Amino acid sequence: MSAVLLERDDDGIVWFTINRQEKRNAINYEVMDALQETIRLVEENDKVKVLVLTGAGQQAFCSGGDLSEFHRLHTKEEAYQMLSKMGAILYSLLTISKPTVALLNGSAVGGGCELATACDFRYAKTGIKAGFIQGTLGITTGWGGATMLFEKLPYTHALDLLLKARRMPSEQLHEYGWIHSLISENKEIKEECRKLLEPYLAQSAPVLRAYKQAAVQKWKTEEFRGRFFAEIEQCAVLWESDEHEEAVRTFLNRS
C-alpha cells in the first residue's frame, strides 16, 4: 500500500495524505520523497491554489519520524543526514508560494507537529491532542520546528509548547494560536476544511501566489536559514545521547 495518497480536486486543492495508519502515519523516507515531489508540483502548477496535508484514518495526523526506521541512526553525522533532508523539505513547504493547511485528523506528535507548523494554517478536529514531545526523547526538534514556531507564535507560547514537551488538547492549542480552526469531530473533516478554504479559493492563483511570495520573503534569508539549520545540528548532537538511545529503545520494546 502506498505510503502517501495524492488527490487534486476541481477547486484547485491538492490533498496530500500520509497513509501509514499502522504506524500512526509516521514519516519515513518514502513519505519525505513524496512530500518533496508534491511541493515541487504544487509550486509549479498554476491550476493548484492550495495544498492540504492530512493523515489517513481517525487516530493520527502524524507521529513524527519513523522510529522503527530511524533508530538505526546512531552518530551525529548519520542523524544529521536524515534530519537535514526532512528539514530542507519543511523549509520548502514553509516558503512555498501557495497557501498551505495542516488538517489534523488525529494526534500529531514530534516531527508531526513540525510538519504542521511549516504550514500556514492548522485546522484540527476537536478532541485530538498534539505536542512537541521531542524533549521526552532526550532530543530537541530536528526538522526546524522550533525556529518556525518562534516565527509563528508569541514567544512565551512557543517556548512553553517546546519546554513542556507534552501532548495538549486541540482546544488549548487553539487558545495558544497554534490551531486556527477547530472542526467538530462529528463533522466530515475534509468537507469542513473545504468550507474554511472557500474564501481563499475564490481568488485567482496569481493573487494567492503573490500574497504568499510577499509573506515568505522574510524567511528567504541566509540569517533565517542559518538559524533553521543550526537547530537541526543541535538535534543531531543530542541524538547521540544515551537518554535518546534509551528512550527510543523503550518505545520500540514496549509490549
Residue 43 CB, shortest distance to ligand LZKTLF4L, in Å, is 23
Alpha carbons 189 and 107: distance in angstroms, whole number: 14
Contacts of 156 (CB under 8 A, 6+ apart): none
Nearer to ligand LZKTLF4L, 58 or 217 (CB): 58
Q: Give the nearer residue to ligand LZKTLF4L in terms of CB position, either 20 or 190.
A: 20
CA dist list (Å): 209 to 39, 47, 53, 126, 184:
14, 11, 18, 31, 30
Per the structure block, which three cell numbers stand in for 131? 505536542
Q: What is the DSSP letter of 10?
A: T
Q: Compute the least distance from the CB of residue 228 to ligand LZKTLF4L, in Å.
A: 13
Computed on alpha carbons and rounded to an integer, the radius of gyration of the chain in Å comes to: 17
Of 12 and 142, the one with the shorter C-beta distance to ligand LZKTLF4L is 142
Q: b/e map of 126-143 (b: 16 or more CB within 10 Å)?
A: eebbbbbbbbbbbbbbbb
Non-local (6+) Cβ contacts of 183 within 8 A are: 123, 124, 125, 126, 189, 192, 193
Can you say how many angstroms the Cα of residue 104 is from the centroid of all Cα atoms in its chain? 10
Q: How far is the CB of 249 from ligand LZKTLF4L (least distance, A)?
A: 12
The residue with cell 500512526 is 24
- Report in angstroms how near the CB of residue 219 gets to ligand LZKTLF4L at its nearest: 19
CA distance 63 to 42: 24
Contacts with ligand LZKTLF4L by CB under 6 A lie at 23-24, 26, 59-60, 63-68, 70, 107, 109-111, 114, 134, 137, 141-143, 251
